[in-house]
Structure 1
């Protein structure tokens, strides 16, 4: 009799225990992503879990996958990985003219940082411009930086080498106004005009303002050539006494090899050891892309009169361009990306027009007549740089740029650095594209799969992602990111775009985004 009672008691306990294991909470969630292999953006090992979304937020992460929940929508993720949406710390594009940003969404990017290389909208009131962006709804979230070059132009300082007291005060005022509007920092483009005219004292005065406003300086440095890159880094590090600093698209033009890469990284590591908050980003291609003015001498660019230079100094300009292009791996290594010669390299154009390439540059293109891709980087050196713990991934791309990096960068990291070369585990690569990028920029509510953070999420099979864009056909969307959520809403379903836009204009707030 006693044994029967004990058996009954045991069965009763098991019944209630099992029911308790299946018990749900009382919330009806908007989205239940079931049994996902979660890579959370911290760099830690993946784990299996249910992820539940309510409104635009990750409301619950449950590692006990036997539990059941109520949700408006369920997605079976058992055979795929779930990661945070990727964050592009260096992007380009006009969110008012072209708000879709499908190229970014297709490669898993849900947040981009604009205002790069020293250029932001030519608006003294950036808050008004941001409100316009709010009104159009963008496909991705947008974090803004204010450009140093643009501040110089708007203040009237422009090409002055040393601003007057009044000019510097106006630049500081514009910088503060931009922070009031919600920018995350300032970018500089010291290889471009008018930023190239600025001196150390001016840059450090502005860095003090950036530091006071808890911002970041991202810099396209003064010179990325191998003989000058270390000095350019030191110039940026001097600003790091006052605020965090970030090397945009870190590279060494003409530099080669692992040893040279480690020498460059040692500058960053030494600065970090001394308390300077320095980081960098990089895109996974060995060709850069920028305006053709990069190959012209300063004395042939604004504010100088190009026609006058050609009239008076043409032989000197021809010789300069001959040497410059030879140094940059020859005319076949400069691929024109815009204008009437788009898609052809300088050698091909030269042969087509039956004239020397330097005359093509002077007579048919000019310093502001085109942009181009330049095959000037060493793959071994670049792979050395990208493995640094201080370097996150960016694209430096846009919807219109004739360079595959705007359509393939983040996919190429998985496809090449993870699947093929084994430079990183998938967890490490995702960290470089999410958590590290968010930390660098000061994005406090994105970049991780964590309860309470925004539901920017990707669901995909890492073995199936593919970068289809090439230099010949750069505007081909990446493949493999089957499901993309932006702020909790489906932007991509079964690799098809929803046709709706769910991004937001992000504004930096202290202490929260």
Structure 2
């Protein structure tokens, strides 16, 4: 299947089941319509929260094919399906920045769709495969209920080349790891992920990481990291996050502190930690984060409790050390130190598979301490653990920070998961932290689930409800949206998410998963920079010149302006070529900008037919140095136009 420039399949519109195919509502199947309907779907009477951070506003949303075609008063327009969403909020589909490589349930993804999630970014914490082409091909072959896009994992490259022992890499190994990461970026990775708290990547010195990432800055992408907490630092979250920022600053990549939290003894220091992020941004190293609205995380029981030296070489080597009395005594002592410093002691650990507290298991086993109990458990099993770490005040501050996206640290799932975040993150953020606690406004919460994560990873055609954008849309009831999943019942479904459309097709209808598999494998290109979100400032695009693409000359005239509080740009866009009919824009979405770079979406007319478009003007194209501008224009139903205007 042919793919467009933005990594999505180019295909003709297909109906989403019998209802859509019959064209209910505006055009009854019992009588032919006098004229073709204006849209495939109109979401009518709702309140648009568009992902930009602007105030919600009443508007209808018209969807044609795979794209949003119009946003506004569509009272005179017709559609195959006219859906009354009065009292509902209409938002972009939610984008989750932190998923792993578990895709068995991606063909259904019920836990994600019932949260309003339409796109997930894979291979978090440095994991996943090195062959991203194979990963995405396998996912597409199985069918995707949501969109997926990959990161490339530092940890997996480190393990592949340097092994599981605590040894320094040679210069040749550094180059080999660097080549693996660059190959992943070339294959369309949205960024480099790492989990420096996880062994064996834990053994990499900061300078090793910087050397491996050398040259990655040309991709204008990000470095997202599960921060490393070491005994030498007193298990300091702050110092771990500072390392992530330093690596980003040193490599020219955007540092992203993933599933951000302030742990253990440092609870109550959110003001200082978030100030560190803001200071880095003001100093030129824009720093972002993602977080979930819970006060406990989940990982393997050993990962963050058993000392790093005892995990060197893998599971068998660790078990051998447990069997040695002298080493076991040291392991137990250091595990106790980690438990106290990070999770407040044994009472901070819960085993979800067996629904048991570590404190109860200590008594049953006759263990002398929490560390002793952990070692005993690991000698017979390798369970996961719920690890309690934070304070409500710190969490609220983290969620409210302007560069923090909301993410679930979850994967597509069917049936049981260990942590309630897998079924409840996004409705919990909306119901608890917006409606009940007032930590966030509706528009800010939606921005943190849509426009902000899209900008953070570099997306250009998702994250906003605007003409020309892909019609990934979530409709929810602000009065009822809430999570119900708990640590004892982590798969309880949330309520309040009414509808989800992916590329214009119904993925969730009236709260019921439809079974549609309209998700796509999304790849990033070099013309899609990770960037701050700039949708709440006055901005414009101006271009007048010619460029050549595939041996053909084009003339492009653009003059656009967008006020700080306006949902869409105003102005003109004309594209002309001697061999093609003229292309003129009839409406625009939002302008997005970065250094010497801009993009806008919208709708153009070609021979009287309306088609969605996305335009990128890249004056900082790392593949084409010089004073020119790279023009990337994708128009619905046409091959992408990619050309260069030298000196323009």
TM-score w.r.t. length of structure 1: 0.89
Within a 5 Å distance, the mapping from 1:38-57 to structure 2 comes to 38-57=48-67
- Do residues 203 (structure 1) and 209 (structure 2) align? yes
Does structure 2 conserve the Cα–Cα contact (< 8 Å) formed by 1:408 and 1:468?
A: yes
Q: CA deviation at 1:203?
A: 1.4
What does residue 422 of structure 1 align with?
A: 438
SS of residue in 1 equivalent to 2:493: coil
* Equivalent position to 2:276, from 267, 290, 295: 267
Provide the alpha-carbon RMSD of the alignment. 2.2
Asked if the contact 1:96–1:132 (Cα under 8 Å) also holds between the matched residues in 2, the reply is no
In the alignment, which of 283, 291, 294 is matched to residue 285 of structure 1? 294
Structure 1 residue 231: Cα displacement: 2.3
**Pairing partner for 2:253 from 219, 243, 258:** 243
1:148 and 2:157 are equivalent in the alignment = no
> What is the deviation of 1:205?
2.4
2:37–2:80 CA contact under 8 A, matched in 1:
no
Would you say the 8 A contact 1:207–1:217 is kept in 2?
no
* Of 222-231 and 80-89, the range deviating more from structure 2: 222-231
1:73 matched to 2:114? The reply is: no
Give SS of 2:45's match: strand
1:92 aligns with 2:108: no
**Equivalent position of 2:628 in the other structure:** none
Give CA-to-partner distance per residue, 1:407-430, whole Å, 9 cap, x none. Answer: 111111111111111111111111
- Residue deviations 1:7-64, cap 9 Å, x none? xxxxxxxxxxxxxxxxx997632111112211101110111112111111101112x3
Distance across 2 between alignment mates of 1:155 and 1:299 = 19
What is the aligned partner in structure 2 of residue 348 from structure 1? 360
Counting helix residues as a fraction of each chain, which structure ranks higher?
1
Q: Indicate whether 1:370 and 2:383 are aligned.
A: yes
| CA spacing shift, 1:234–1:512, aligned 2, 3 Å | closer
Give the SS at the match of 1:127.
helix
Matches within 5 A, 1:2-17: none
Q: Is the 8 A contact 2:166 2:309 kept in 1?
A: no
**Separation in 1, partners of 2:35, 2:222:** 42
Change (3 A) 1:413 1:233: same
User: In the alignment, what sits opposite 1:16?
Assistant: none
The SS at the match of 2:335 is helix
In 1, Cα distance between equivalents of 2:426 and 2:105 = 24
SS at match of 1:52: strand
1:438 aligns with 2:444: no
Q: Deviations over 1:481-502 (max 9, x none)?
A: 0111111110111111112222
- When normalised by structure 2's length, the TM-score is 0.71
Q: Note the residue ranges of structure 2 that are not aligned, 5 or more in a row.
A: 1-33, 530-648
Cα distance, 1:391 vs structure 2 = 0.9
- Tell me whether 1:134 sits opposite 2:134 in the alignment: no
Q: CA deviation at 1:455?
A: 0.6
Measured after TM superposition, the shift of residue 329 of structure 1 is: 2.4
Contact 1:41/1:431 (<8 A) preserved: yes
1:380, CA displacement in angstroms?
0.8
CA contact (8 A) 1:34 1:77 kept: yes
**Where in structure 1 are there 5+ consecutive unaligned residues?**
1-23
1:111 and 2:127 are equivalent in the alignment: no
- Aligned counterparts of 1:69 and 1:177: Cα–Cα separation in 2: 48
Q: CA deviation at 1:68?
A: 1.7
Residue of structure 2 aligned with 1:455, choices 441, 465, 471: 471
Q: Deviations over 1:57-90 (max 9, x none)?
A: 101112x35x321211110112211011111111
SS where residue 306 of structure 1 aligns?
helix
C-alpha distance in 2 between matches for 1:108 and 1:209? 37
SS in 2 for 1:464: coil
**Contact kept in structure 1, 2:178 and 2:214, CA below 8 Å:** no
Q: Which has the higher strand share?
A: 2
The 1:184/1:292 distance shift into structure 2, 3 A limit, reads same
Structure 2 residue aligned with 1:6: none
Mark the CA change 1:198 to 1:355 in structure 2 (over 3 Å): closer, same or farther. Answer: closer
Structure 1 pair 226–322 and aligned structure 2 pair: CA distance change class (3 A): closer
**Cα pair distance change 1:181/1:367, threshold 3 Å:** farther
1:163 to partner: Cα distance? 1.8
Instruction: Give a deviation string over 1:257-282, Cα, whole Å, max 9, x none.
Output: 65x11100111111111110210111
Give the equivalent residue in structure 2 for 1:379.
392
In the aligned structure 1, how far is the partner of 2:35 from the partner of 2:154? 51
Match of 1:233 in 2: 241
